[in-house]
Structure 1
């Protein structure tokens, strides 16, 4: 606060607003690299030398040169902080330890929210392996340029580098959360993914939730969606059907391993939520809003004159006449004709998970929670049914590998193009994607209780660009169908692309739903889609496509081509 980086929001206890340099507002995927001696330990053997979209390799020599160019003297005149943290409950056999060095006090505060920062880490650490995390905003003092919004950064020199062999992350130039809170995507997905590959478990970009039906039966699900596809909303939904209860275990990352009884167990390695603010309100996600009422840091949102926060989506919850200051310091009024938003599209809330009123009592259980189903999904405006069930584990891995979605504001991409995001892990892979797919296939072993795998699409539209499904709390109806499928109910029928609900098997009471359109599988669309999926996998994964998955692709493509 003394330096102007944070400003207190007087309307809420212990809550602060932060505005970054407008050049430092999102993950920088083009500057995010993985270092390995063998290029193909990181990247796949892409076809015809195509640029890899699934991981960006940097050689050890180029890595050393990049570090030497940036790090010597980079913290001069600044405070260096040493942050010991645990991903997962401290001392859990499923948890991992990290230590981050940083010269950003914003990072210190956010790491205290997002991870378990404690002196107890040193006791647990002992001689155990830990992930080394080094971060600098790249602005030694005294600075000889104008610092915007009291936010130090060095956008021209940004690099976020991972060394999986050394269990190390090095980040320079950006203070934005996805680039600087190194326990999050960098450790919990890219480095942990490689550790999971070596040790035989799974580190995934997935929420963890439980659903309890009116009979008191509870089942846990994990779900992988690309950014801005409703992952946090699903993790915290308020069911519209009476008698159902949803509890949140985590909204973004799941670490999973099979126990000695063959049951897949999952923990949330994080301690808080780092969610997209715009679109979050008491209608779309009341539980997230409850978590924001105290002890939070809000980044790149607008501020109301009475010391509150504002962003797109809160128009009906804030006094229409109250003066508002945008994230760029401009005046703003609800309903006025300004052609600029109040908040950055990727503005964020950082809040402690314990603030969420529906956190599961076992959300910090060191043993984890038992997973019955895995859900993939994306923002697909046309062609893709509301829900598809995989025929078996192999087909489920294939469904995950062909996930696509509209691009979002979480990275530097612009526009609404449909992008491949296999397993919702495209930006978060720490090793060769072909090996990653094989690792998924290798999870299926005799004696293991393999979860069912589903694919959902809440975002299909009709010819008038209207959503065919209401989403949000109504998604409990699809989760109920999944629970019944996990229990073996005969409520699914085969199609060329997988199992879909038998007509009427999802409770749509009170909804105006066009069932046939919502679950239609247009042959021309799917023929084009499966051929495009093959093109993508052949180009991006090439010879590294596991043979079993190649056979699955051939099988599904043949069935789709035979559709009338």
Structure 2
């Protein structure tokens, strides 16, 4: 056991025999027969303490069988957490209108006084957390059924997969878990024995009232690897297998497998290269910044949100997706930019849970940016909706919330790759980092070496998105993983430098590390509109150019920030891959360096990181070298340096 198991401190169950007595009181014969197959004593004691603490009327054990999955679907409908839509297998779920994203202001790491916590996070001292959990979770499950499921965060048998338990009174949460994760009830004991650990997640939505939201909390105990969540419904706060357990996976990689593993906020997709070769790419971006779109641009889809990575014995970097489905933002998803996903959303055949979209009178979902006629009225995340509605501040109420989602299995996608279930992972040759950057960086640039690649990741800056309640403005978003890094940023950064520079990585298997930015605007390059300089579908070209870079098939232009593509290579890729002209004037706008903007970004990062402890000195050295090179370019060419001038240099 951990130093302090909060659930046990409250529940008081400390033996398997005592746990079984709890099960006998709360479970019917079927669930008792199921739980009897689980032999991991720590897991049984943890589940029993969750039961004693929450005091549900009943407990249902979910084995992932067809019958159990159907029971969960039916229970979600009975409780009113979901409603059926006319398309077979489609349902709609609405979160509280005041809770449409991660409650970052009420999310804490449980910590001891001497414990280091990321400077970008909040902590709650362990003794205080015991009181908060006891006050708010004791009896919170009365009148409800607690559902317990056993999941693998990754293909069963993969070196970086993590076993986890999800225990929640929300049928919507467990329904989502069945789509997004691998229920491996039969393999749970074996995998826990092999890895020596499991994550635990305990949640209840409580009475599901707006007035309870100020008391909602997501608490993560790093030492016991247990999350506690209460009085909330949005999946980012309640489906704790996702970002809650991702945090534990980050901790595990940094402090137990340093230089050998990473846990990242990244998509995984495969690009088809010349000669039918497959090249696998991973890419980081903050939530709401295009990870799903980028992942779907690949020819072979593995994942759109999370990645577990390790160095294999053959000297390659391998990646797996902890998930097996998509919990994807739907705003601006349309047939032009996302045809593969749209095909599933608009045609029968796939199970889909919709959240916080507009449902018209015919039961059809609609959302902002779907490229279809919008109905005049319907039901959405805040109740009845009609065109022209405004809120109490006079602000227009959109048809769907900006963080509205669809939950769907990866296997439904036309470009799904069965490599997603390969415990050996996929060999990873391209690593990208991106954010919502409207005015500074070019669409794609490649680091000169792994240390410079880590610095690209460390220096992501992004406009805030609707995924976080109350967030606004432009902010730093290191590695797009910052909200999920529990420990000191310096420790995490050092682990990144060690991993990508590891001598265990074979010279011919080292990945290309690059920045991506497809949010650059016309206005930022001398134009008069806020329109993007390009389209979403262009990302297929940027990834394909990186695929060629990984195999030394293209040349490049050297700059202080990294290597840029040459025009002719991009023009040919635009023509061959997406049948689109690519005028030189657009290339020049996209790839000219706006020196003052980039230097301002470097100064921002330098000043911010100097406030953190234990930041590796090489970050500051690399940023200083880049600034010096940019200043030299400015002295020679002025504040805007074109690709032709860069080639001339």
**TM-score, scaled to structure 1:** 0.89
1:388 aligns with 2:441: no
Q: Is this contact kept in 2: 1:315–1:334, CA < 8 A? A: no
Match of 1:379? 436
1:370 aligns with 2:370: no
The two structures, once aligned, show a CA RMSD in angstroms of 2.3
- Cα deviation, residue 153, structure 1: 8.3
Match of 2:460? 403
Q: In structure 1, the residue corresponding to 2:633 is in which secondary structure?
A: coil
CA shift digits 1:58-80 (9 cap, x unpaired): 22222222222212212122211
1:479 aligns with 2:551: no
- State how many pairs are aligned: 531
- Cα deviation, residue 160, structure 1: 1.2
Match of 1:240? none
- Cα deviation, residue 383, structure 1: 2.3
1:465 aligns with 2:525: no
**TM-score, scaled to structure 2:** 0.78
Aligned partner of 2:202 among 125, 134, 144: 134
Distance 1:97 1:209 in 2: 24
Distance 1:451 1:315 in 2: 37
Q: Is this contact kept in 2: 1:332–1:338, CA < 8 A? A: no
Q: In structure 1, the residue corresponding to 2:218 is in which secondary structure?
A: strand
Match of 2:96? 21
Q: How do residues 139-178 of structure 1 correspond to structure 2 at under 5 angstroms?
A: 139=207, 154-178=212-236
Aligned partner of 2:410 among 353, 375, 379: 353
Distance 1:271 1:528 in 2: 40
Q: Is this contact kept in 2: 1:390–1:498, CA < 8 A? A: yes
Alignment gaps of 5+ in structure 1 = 44-51, 140-146, 238-244
1:511 aligns with 2:565: no
Match of 1:420? 476
1:499 aligns with 2:553: no
Distance 2:100 2:531 in 1: 30
- Cα deviation, residue 531, structure 1: 0.9
Q: In structure 1, the residue corresponding to 2:318 is in which secondary structure?
A: strand
Q: In structure 2, the residue corresponding to 1:289 is in which secondary structure?
A: helix
Which stretch of the first structure deviates more once superposed, 130-139 or 116-125?
116-125
Match of 2:616? 546
Q: In structure 1, the residue corresponding to 2:299 is in which secondary structure?
A: strand
Q: Which has the higher helix share?
A: 2
- Cα deviation, residue 445, structure 1: 1.9
- Cα deviation, residue 321, structure 1: 5.8
Alignment gaps of 5+ in structure 2 = 1-76, 576-580, 635-649
Which stretch of the first structure deviates more once superposed, 435-444 or 123-132?
123-132
Q: In structure 2, the residue corresponding to 1:202 is in which secondary structure?
A: strand
Match of 1:88? 154
Q: In structure 1, the residue corresponding to 2:228 is in which secondary structure?
A: strand
Query: Using CA pairs below 8 Å that are at least 6 residues apart, which structure has the higher relative contact order?
Result: 1
Distance 2:121 2:614 in 1: 14
Distance 1:273 1:90 in 2: 19
- Cα deviation, residue 334, structure 1: 9.9
Q: Is this contact kept in 1: 2:202–2:227, CA < 8 A? A: yes
Distance 1:85 1:550 in 2: 41
Aligned partner of 1:266 among 298, 319, 326: 319
Distance 1:290 1:186 in 2: 31
Q: Which has the larger radius of gyration?
A: 2
Q: In structure 1, the residue corresponding to 2:134 is in which secondary structure?
A: helix
Q: In structure 2, the residue corresponding to 1:154 is in which secondary structure?
A: helix
- Cα deviation, residue 246, structure 1: 1.2
- Cα deviation, residue 270, structure 1: 0.2
